[in-house]
């Protein structure tokens, strides 16, 4: 949005566009022309017409935005999905995971483990088990809903979670 606003300022003020601003403006406009993004607006058709006019005014063409192949951001543990999948598959082969000292465990999983076990002490094993079951069920529900699983698939995960620890 900031890039498009900067483009509009340049166009309204008759300022010259640098090659870099033109390129990133074309990319930004094309990202906004994606159907899901347009549907977030009150009037998607009006938004689309405006974006197409801007794109046309700088000589840009409509093209699907490219997804990056490598990500460099401090909020991410891996450079791409393939790397994440490969590393997590290796991690899943381990019998026991060291969440507190293991260097192969991503920081997010360490944080999730701390959160998962927060305020659960082994003063009473029944309470520990019940808390663990409830949290597994909540996590199962969350994953199922985020992965757009069917109601039946979510129920199955909930039922498996409710039986923890399995015999």
* SS (HEC) of 16-65: CCCHHHHHHHHHHHHHHCCHHHHCCCCCHHHHHHHHHHHHHHCCCCCCCC
DSSP conformation letters of 125-150: HHHHHHHHHHHHHHHHHHHHHHTT--
Tokens of 9: 């300022």
- List % helix, strand, coil for the chain (3-state, nearest 5): 60, 0, 40
Q: Give residue 81's pLDDT.
A: 84
Question: What b/e string do you get for 88-103 counting C-beta neighbours within 10 Å, with b at 16 or more?
Answer: eeeeeeeeeeeeeeee
CA–CA separation, 83 vs 139, rounded Å? 24
Q: Give residue 116's pLDDT.
A: 86
Domain containing residue 103: 97-162
Q: How many domains does the chain have?
A: 2
The most distant pair of C-alpha atoms in the chain lies apart, rounded to whole Å, by 73
* Residue 90 falls inside a structural domain: no
* Residue 85 falls inside a structural domain: no
Residue 101 sits in the same domain as residue 157: yes
* Residue 79 falls inside a structural domain: no
Mean pLDDT by 10 residues, the chain (167 residues): 92 93 93 89 92 94 81 82 87 84 84 86 80 93 96 96 84
CA 163 centroid distance within chain = 30
* Residue 62 falls inside a structural domain: no
Q: Give residue 167's pLDDT.
A: 57
* Residue 86 falls inside a structural domain: no
Q: What is the pTM of this model?
A: 0.56
């Amino acid at each position: 949005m900031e890039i498009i606003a900067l483009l509009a300022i340049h166009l309204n003020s008759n300022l010259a566009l640098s090659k870099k601003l033109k390129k990133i403006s074309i990319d930004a406009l094309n990202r906004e022309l994606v159907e899901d993004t347009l549907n977030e607006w009150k009037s998607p058709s009006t938004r689309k017409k405006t974006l197409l006019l801007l794109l046309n005014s700088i000589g840009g063409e409509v093209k699907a935005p490219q997804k990056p192949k490598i990500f460099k951001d401090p909020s991410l543990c891996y450079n791409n999905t393939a790397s994440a999948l490969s590393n997590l598959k290796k991690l899943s082969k381990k019998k026991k995971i060291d969440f507190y000292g293991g260097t192969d465990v991503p920081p997010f999983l360490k944080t999730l483990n701390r959160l998962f076990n927060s305020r659960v002490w082994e003063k009473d094993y029944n309470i520990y088990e019940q808390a663990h079951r409830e949290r597994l069920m909540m996590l199962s529900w969350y994953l199922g809903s985020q992965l757009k699983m069917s109601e039946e698939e979510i129920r199955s995960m909930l039922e498996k979670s409710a039986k923890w620890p399995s015999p």
